[in-house]
Amino acid sequence: MSLASYAVVDKDSKGRAYPEAPPKDGRSEFARDRDRVTHSYAFRQLSGKTQVFTPASNQCGSSPSDKILYDDSMRTRMSHSIEVAQVARSIARALNLNEDLSETLALAHDMGHTPFGHSGQDVLNDCMKPYGGFEHNIQSLRVVTDLEHRYTQFKGLNLMFETKEGILKHCSAKNAAVLGDIAARHRDKKSPTLEAQATDLGDAIAYMCHDIDDGIRSGLVSPRDFEDVELFGRCWREVQSRLSGQPEALQVQETLRDMMGLMIRGTIAHSLQNIERYGIKTLADVRNSPEVILLPDGLAQQHAQLKSQMYKKLYHHQEVSLVRKDVEQVIGGLFQVYMENPHLLPAGPAGETRVQPNDTDTQKARVVCDYVAGLTDAQAYQQVKRFEPLLSAQRTLALF
């Protein structure tokens, strides 16, 4: 079946920075992008990076909490990205969009994420304040344009323009001013492609469901913490009456599945109405219209309520915050050690020395930041332990 007239298609794409012959095996250009992402180093690293819980803290001996039932099946940034891809593809397929592009964006959207989830990002951003800051969307773009090193002809993965543009989901005016064409839509206040919109919403739907799942399995929260919030409560009560007497763990799974289905179906119906309402026929119409792939108003409000309950009960839970305290020590410690001793940085992907003798502090800081952001949780812990003698006394005390 051919794609909708407003979908992104190979032939109308702005293409790759370095022109390449089309794939010889019948794949679309965007399927090729997805495969480049899947085979990349940064994508594999996501399997060792925190989503909400940090199982590595148990193995690495840094303030493990005995109140959290850590489990290696907890979501990581990689399983999160795969679940986002599943939701994004369901929406894209139903709207007859370019499913390969939505999938690629989902798999790539967190490639620039630091170890230790959002606290890792906050700490690295603090370290980088004097040198231009750190932001994970821009970092994801840096990974695919600069940091991956797998080809002789170019740096990065040489992805399609629309893929790179979709990866740059948010961007400050200051950054947009220097990022060229890729950030044009941020400067001109245009909407992202529908494929990117499907992925953005897929992210919000996926994390809500899987973070509740992991939260309950961790023992820190229970269905009682969410039953008064409509989106969860309505599905939960319906499941309890339909499946009364079944084990609670299975009732939770049924509830989360129903909740996800409700949000996906609601999004598809509402988005089709919006496409009709704004008279969207072409990709240019998409860019000039408000965003259309959205939850219907009622569900959007309920999603926001559930999100704020998640912050209260889970993301800001004391036991989750305990691990966060370590993050400042680990990420801050590594940043300090590598800034003071750049020769300790391992060689780059092509065997190159990462910091050159005449690099400015800003250049050096960016190299250190790229390296630290690319580590898994466990690598970061292991390295900071090895550098214990080089850490400031204050950091050493807090860590060990």
Tell me the CA end-to-end span of the chain in Å, nearest whole number: 60
Angle formed at CA 118 by CA 116 and CA 122, multiple of 5 degrees: 100
Residue number, nearest CB to Mg ion: 203
Least Å distance, CB 306 to Mg ion, is: 17
User: Contact region for Mg ion (CB under 5 A) — 5-13, 124-132, 156-164, 199-207?
Assistant: 199-207
Mention every residue, 6+ apart, whose C-beta is less than 8 A from residue 359. Answer: 367
Is the CB of 203 or the CB of 326 nearer to Mg ion? 203
Least Å distance, CB 174 to Mg ion, is: 23
- Beta bridge partners, 16, equal 160
Return the percent helix, strand and coil in the chain, to nearest 5: 65, 0, 35
Name the DSSP letter for residue 160. Answer: B
Q: How far is CA 147 from CA 38, 40, 120, 388, in A?
A: 15, 10, 19, 28
Does 203 engage in binding with Mg ion (CB under 5 A)?
Answer: yes
User: Contact region for Mg ion (CB under 5 A) — 50-58, 104-112, 222-230, 300-308?
Assistant: 104-112
Is the CB of 84 or the CB of 283 nearer to Mg ion? 84
Single-letter code of the amino acid located at 371:
Y
Is the CB of 213 or the CB of 254 nearer to Mg ion? 213
Q: Are 167 and 108 in contact (CB under 8 A)?
A: yes
Is the CB of 170 or the CB of 187 nearer to Mg ion? 170
Least Å distance, CB 66 to Mg ion, is: 29
Least Å distance, CB 211 to Mg ion, is: 11
Single-letter code of the amino acid located at 209:
C
Least Å distance, CB 31 to Mg ion, is: 22
Contacts of Mg ion in 263-282 (CB under 5 A): none
CA distance 285 to 308: 34
Is the CB of 135 or the CB of 203 nearer to Mg ion? 203
Is the CB of 83 or the CB of 148 nearer to Mg ion? 83
User: Contact region for Mg ion (CB under 5 A) — 107-115, 194-202, 222-230, 231-239?
Assistant: 107-115
User: Contact region for Mg ion (CB under 5 A) — 110-118, 223-231, 294-302, 362-370?
Assistant: 110-118
CA distance 142 to 137: 9
User: Contact region for Mg ion (CB under 5 A) — 109-117, 233-241, 290-298, 337-345?
Assistant: 109-117
Q: Give the residue from 400, 383, 377 showing the smallest Cα distance to 327.
A: 377
Q: Give the residue from 348, 303, 287 showing the smallest Cα distance to 87.
A: 303
Is the CB of 201 or the CB of 355 nearer to Mg ion? 201
Per-residue mark of binding to Mg ion, 304-343 (x: CB under 5 A) = ----------------------------------------
Q: Are 183 and 175 in contact (CB under 8 A)?
A: yes
Binding residues for Mg ion, rule: CB under 5 A, are: 110, 203
